[in-house]
Amino acid sequence: MGAGSQRSLVLTAVGLLLALTGCGPGSTPGSQSASSATTAADTTAAFLASHWQRPLAPNGPAPARFSSLEATLAPEACGACHPQQYQDWRTALHSHAMSPGLLGQLQSMGADAREDHQACLQCHAPLAEQQEHLVRSLAAGRTLPPLAKGISSAQGLSCAGCHVRKNGRFGPRRLDGTVPASDSVLPHDGWQATDAFEDSRFCAACHQFENDGPSLNGKPLENTYAEWRASRYARENRSCQSCHMPQRKHLWRGIHDPAMVRSGVTVDAVLRSVADGRADAELTIANTGVGHAFPTYVTPRVVVEIGQEDRHGELIAATVERHVIGRDVSLDLTGERADTRLMPDETRRYAYKRPLDPRAAAVAYRITVLPDDFYAKFYRATLSDLEFKAGRPAIRVALRHAENSSYVLFLREAPVGLQQDNRAANAVAPRIQ
């Protein structure tokens, strides 16, 4: 550590993140409210400003009347009484937020760099006790077992990170709208019900940079809440939770999940005609159900390919036209080269008009999603710096994950042999992998 380039590489590309001190929703852009609802909205804003005041304060010792199961903040302990939330959370990326890609960077910062850690932990593993665990693990050179009260930095964004402050539980009202009676006796002294858990600003705490935070071309690098706010979903009161936590399930599926992505986009591909030795085709993709830009972050890349295939189903390279959907930023995050993302309800058409190759048997349409494209490039650059040592093994693992997360979202082939009737061509069933 210390020797320039190792730190600088890590901290240039992610360094801008260090600049984000308060992403607190208290000052979230657009958090204005209609005058009749002012009090409720202000209560929510005030609650969230304090709930997400980071660094979070340590919880301190649990009340003596708590059983040891109630006192521990380990997600498995919560899971003993809230099994459904626990099972779902374990499959969600929030539980994997202390990923190799993050850990490698924290390792390169060293055990003493608490402020640098906090710039990442405030979103990835926000409990004060998790930072303590991280610091000790970095000093020991290995991940230590959980500390008192079952807390480990490896738990990422855990139940307690969202629900527990000073040992007290916070959550939404019950689904039937009720809250516990004041004289009811419940585990962990019950909970304090607040509407904030059903509000999109709850998520904005980590999914939206401040207006004065890192931004390119006038758009914050993380702008999900503002994109949602400008969409019809905000007007229709369809919160982040309504799509990402259906029936309050703790799933948070996103760009890494093909089924989730398919639920948000509508794709159509038609071969209009094959005449005079030319193919005339078109692919349409519309953002019909994503509550923000598709994709919202700068890190994924969606590639649309239209081209001709030979009899063996191989694409004929010279015939392929490629289009990218994404927000393309430079590796050092100093410039935006293009922003071709699809805003909510936006439709894009890609026309394809080309001479038919003599080998062509079909026109093929393919959409590939690379959820971690930016990270893969960033990890490759990091590993090419030989002075980057401390976090190397973890970053190698992260690179492998990032390279292996891509999938084919849409694939359709329209034979060009029987193409006189373009309905016949269109009737080819989509082959989705």
Q: Which region, judged by CB under 6 A, interacts with ligand HEC, from 290-298, 331-339, 356-364, 381-389?
A: 290-298
Do the beta carbons of residue 224 and residue 205 sit within 8 Å? Answer: no
Which of 146, 295, 307, 391 lies at the binding interface for ligand HEC (CB under 6 A)?
Answer: 295
Least Cβ distance, residue 396 to ligand HEC (angstroms): 13
132 exposure class (CB count in 10 Å sphere: 0-12, 13-18, 19+):
middle
Least Cβ distance, residue 102 to ligand HEC (angstroms): 4
Which of 146, 291, 307, 391 lies at the binding interface for ligand HEC (CB under 6 A)?
Answer: 291
Q: Which region, judged by CB under 6 A, interacts with ligand HEC, from 140-148, 169-177, 309-317, 410-418?
A: 169-177
Per-residue binding letters, 234-263, with ligand HEC (x by CB under 6 A): ----x-xxxxxx--x-x-x-xxx---xx-x
Backbone phi and psi for residue 14, each to the nearest 5 degrees, phi listed first: -100, -5
Residues 6 or more apart in contact with residue 417 via CB below 8 angstroms: 361
Q: Is 430 in the site for ligand HEC (CB under 6 A)?
A: no
Subset of residues 43 to 102 that bind ligand HEC, contact rule: CB under 6 A: 69-70, 73, 75, 77-82, 85-86, 89, 93-94, 96-97, 99, 101-102
Least Cβ distance, residue 1 to ligand HEC (angstroms): 15
Subset of residues 171 to 230 that bind ligand HEC, contact rule: CB under 6 A: 171-172, 174-175, 180, 186-188, 191, 197-198, 200, 202-203, 205-207, 224-225, 228
How many residues lie near ligand HEC (CB under 6 A)?
91
Do the beta carbons of residue 267 and residue 323 sit within 8 Å? Answer: no
Residues 6 or more apart in contact with residue 231 via CB below 8 angstroms: 291, 292, 343, 344, 345
Q: Is 169 in the site for ligand HEC (CB under 6 A)?
A: yes
Which residue, 81 or 351, is less far from ligand HEC as judged by CB? 81
Structure tokens at 34: 């209609």
Least Cβ distance, residue 352 to ligand HEC (angstroms): 24
Residue 92: CB atoms within 10 A of its CB come to: 20
Least Cβ distance, residue 112 to ligand HEC (angstroms): 16
Structure tokens at 58: 């340590």
Q: Is 390 in the site for ligand HEC (CB under 6 A)?
A: no
| CA dist., res. 133 & res. 123, Å (int) | 16
Which residue, 297 or 365, is less far from ligand HEC as judged by CB? 297
Which residue, 288 or 422, is less far from ligand HEC as judged by CB? 288
Cα distances (angstroms) measured from residue 350 to each of 112, 127, 365, 401, 431: 52, 47, 11, 31, 20
Burial annotation 246-285 (CB, 10 A radius, 16+ → b, else e)? eeebbbbbbbebbebbeebbebbbbbbbbeeeebbbbbeb
Which of 134, 151, 157, 394 lies at the binding interface for ligand HEC (CB under 6 A)?
Answer: 157
Which residue, 197 or 352, is less far from ligand HEC as judged by CB? 197
Which residue, 362 or 395, is less far from ligand HEC as judged by CB? 395
Q: Is 282 in the site for ligand HEC (CB under 6 A)?
A: no
Do the beta carbons of residue 16 and residue 221 sit within 8 Å? Answer: yes
* Nearest residue (beta carbon) to ligand HEC: 291
Which of 41, 45, 62, 160 lies at the binding interface for ligand HEC (CB under 6 A)?
Answer: 160
Which of 154, 162, 362, 394 lies at the binding interface for ligand HEC (CB under 6 A)?
Answer: 162
Residues 6 or more apart in contact with residue 422 via CB below 8 angstroms: 270, 271, 272, 273
Least Cβ distance, residue 378 to ligand HEC (angstroms): 8
Rg for the chain (alpha carbons), in Å?
25
Q: Is 375 in the site for ligand HEC (CB under 6 A)?
A: yes
Backbone CA torsion sign across 73, 79, 81, 82: positive
Least Cβ distance, residue 309 to ligand HEC (angstroms): 28
Q: First-to-last CA distance in the chain?
A: 44
Residue 334: CB atoms within 10 A of its CB come to: 12
Subset of residues 398 to 417 that bind ligand HEC, contact rule: CB under 6 A: 398
| CA dist., res. 433 & res. 411, Å (int) | 8
Do the beta carbons of residue 161 and residue 126 sit within 8 Å? Answer: yes
Least Cβ distance, residue 64 to ligand HEC (angstroms): 16
Do the beta carbons of residue 375 and residue 383 sit within 8 Å? Answer: no
Cα distances (angstroms) measured from residue 39 to each of 33, 70, 205, 239: 9, 34, 21, 20
Which residue, 52 or 365, is less far from ligand HEC as judged by CB? 52
Per-residue binding letters, 119-138, with ligand HEC (x by CB under 6 A): xx-xxx-x------------
Least Cβ distance, residue 355 to ligand HEC (angstroms): 35
Subset of residues 297 to 356 that bind ligand HEC, contact rule: CB under 6 A: 297, 299-300
